[in-house]
Amino acid sequence: MAVMSTALDSILVIRYQTGVSASGSPLLRQKSLAGVKANAADQDVYDVAAALFSLLQYPLIEVRRDNRFDLVSQ
């Protein structure tokens, strides 16, 4: 029994630093943006995240892309 997968969309997950705690460890936050097209190039997705965070005062720590697929048994 074969399984077919169909790309649905992606979620852009961005981690950024909002400050430093009293003990000196970084305070990290995460923001997720849904609705990224599945066929968008990885470089384009990263460039959008970098451009968005260049407008803010917080440094960008990590950019992740979570792809979602629909799996159907054939």
Tens digit of each residue's pLDDT (9 = 90 or more) over 16-72: 999 999 999 999 999 999 999 989 999 999 999 999 999 989 999 999 999 999 999
Q: For residue 4, name the pLDDT band (cuts at 50, 70, 90).
A: very high
C-alpha span between 34 and 47 (Å, rounded): 16
pTM of the model: 0.80
pLDDT at 19: 94
Q: Which residue is listed with tokens 């968005």?
A: 52
Q: For residue 13, name the pLDDT band (cuts at 50, 70, 90).
A: very high
Instruction: Kindly give, in sequence order, each residue whose CB lies less than 8 Å from that of residue 8, ignoring residues fewer than 6 positions away.
Output: 38, 68, 69, 70
C-alpha span between 72 and 50 (Å, rounded): 35
Report which secondary-structure segment, H or E, holds 47.
helix 42-54
